[in-house]
Structure formats: structure tokens, C-alpha cells
Amino acid sequence: MKIYLATFLLLIGSNISFGQDIDSPENSGDDFSLEGALAMFKKASSIEDFEKLLNEENNNVNNLDLNNDGDIDYVSVEDIMEGDNHVLVLSASLGENEKQDIATINIEKKGKEDAELQIVGDEDLYAENSIVEPFDVEEKVMKGKGPSVLEINPTRVVVNVWLWPSVRFIYAPEYRVWVSPYRWANYPRWWKPWRPFRHSLFIGRCAPHRVYFHRTAVRRVSHGFYRSRRHSSTLIVKGRRGTTVIHKGRGGRVKAVHYGRRGGRR
């Protein structure tokens, strides 16, 4: 009887542990949809409107609670501009003097009516080279193996985002660089924070955003002037692979120390 009871308890413990692993993101940033952020940016008419769309619960973009206070973190947007290049920095205030960048949307004007963009997840929160971009499919007709056989070859192409209202907005002559007026404990009246969803539920809710945006390993748009203005908080990033403690030292240097699930330092 004792053997059966011990086996039963072991099975329950294993199922609970398995369930917890499923509902734990691989990386903390996986609770913020990079694809969803681009979907909101495409939909927005201005940067202020974009920030509002990011922070509306029904848009299923944000599920972050980086400071573990039980409420969703408010995501602010700041535009860093240099010439025709823009970096939209998406950040969360985690305390009075703590701010963590989540991702950056890098925009580059290629011609008179031609622009490209990519969103990149911050290195503290995402796996290396977490890059997302809009994509389209172009069908090319090619000769097949037979004498009169034609084959249609669908190919993904880089999207010109010039016609997105938000892109046209930031390149308008009268545009004033947007810096969010909201800070820690100073949020818009319309914003009502909610409790985070289970990760598995959130992934399902933000799935529609992944239809028109895809991951890529190629960084096409990158602006070095952002690095000196990046925000990195002192925080603990928990995921399925263990716990990573981010130490912020002098001069803004960041050191990540990873502890596996058994407590060993890596």
C-alpha cells in the first residue's frame, strides 16, 4: 500500500512540475509578443496611438510582469532619431529608478517612398538574435524540368512599410520626436493593469499576430546610436532553463549569471 501511495504522489508531483514547465516561458521576453508589437505599429496612426495599443489588454501583446508585483508592466515608447533613422524603444519602468528595455523597432528610410523596419528583442529578456519583420510572398514563374512545364515558386520578400500610417507619421515634416510622458507610478488614467495570464494561454491568444510577421536571423536594419541610451535593469529573469540574475555594474556594464534548475552556477 505504501509503495502504491508513494508512486501515486510521485506521479502527481511529476505532472505538476511538467505543467509548471509548460507555463514557464523559455525566456522572460516570450511574454511580450514582438509580432504583436509590429501588428500594433502597423495599425497605429501615431506613436502615441501605438503606445496606447500596446497597453490595451484585448490586443494580446503584453504579458510581462518583470518586477513580480502581480500586475502587468506598462510599456512606454521613446523615439530616438538621427537623420532619417529612427529607433523606437519599448521599455518598462520596474521601480522608482529601474527601467528595462524590452525591444526596439529600427526604421530606415531607403528612398523617397521606401522604408524598412525590424523589431529586435532586448538581450536581457530574449534569446540571441530575436528579430521579427513583416513579410510578403511573391510568386515567381520558373521553367520546370519538362520542355513546356512551368513551376510557381513562392518567395518571401522584404516589405516596404512606407504606406503604414505610423511610418508616414514619423517622416512628416511637422513630426516632433515622441517621448512618452509616463513614468513609474505616473500612468495614463485610461490604463487599468491586469494580472498576467498563464504563458501557455498567452501564446495562444497572441498567435494571430504571427500570420504576417516572421522571425529572421538576418539583421537588415540596425542603428548603433541606440546602444549608449539603452536601459538595463537589475532584475531576475526566470525561465524553464533556470534563473538568470542580471547584475548591473559600474559604467552600465551588465553581467548575467545563470543558475540551472538544480542550483548549480553556469
Is 142's pLDDT higher than 60? no
Residue 19 lies in a domain: no
Residue 257 lies in a domain: no
Residue 255 lies in a domain: no
Cell output for 60:
494580446
- Distance in angstroms (rounded) separating the CA atoms of residues 120 and 123: 9
- Distance in angstroms (rounded) separating the CA atoms of residues 139 and 64: 39
User: Which of these, 95, 100, 58, 57, lies nearest to 76 by C-alpha position?
Assistant: 100
The amino acid at 225:
F
Residue 259 lies in a domain: no
Model pTM score? 0.78
CB 64 within 8 A of CB 54: no
Count of domains in the chain? 1
CB 103 within 8 A of CB 163: no
- Residue 100 structural domain: 29-231
CB 96 within 8 A of CB 184: yes
Is 125's pLDDT higher than 50? yes
Residue 56 lies in a domain: yes
Residue 127 lies in a domain: yes
Q: Convert the pLDDT of each residue in 96-108 to its tens digit.
A: 888 999 999 999 9
Judged by average pLDDT, the poorest of 152-161, 169-178, 229-238, 252-261 is 252-261
Q: How are beta strands 150-158 and 235-239 bridged, if at all?
A: unpaired
Please compute the mean of the pLDDT values over residues 206-226 and round it to a whole number: 91
Residue 9 lies in a domain: no
Hey, how many other C-beta atoms are within 10 angstroms of the C-beta on 68?
11
Instruction: Name the DSSP class of 126.
Output: S
Is 68's pLDDT higher than 60? yes
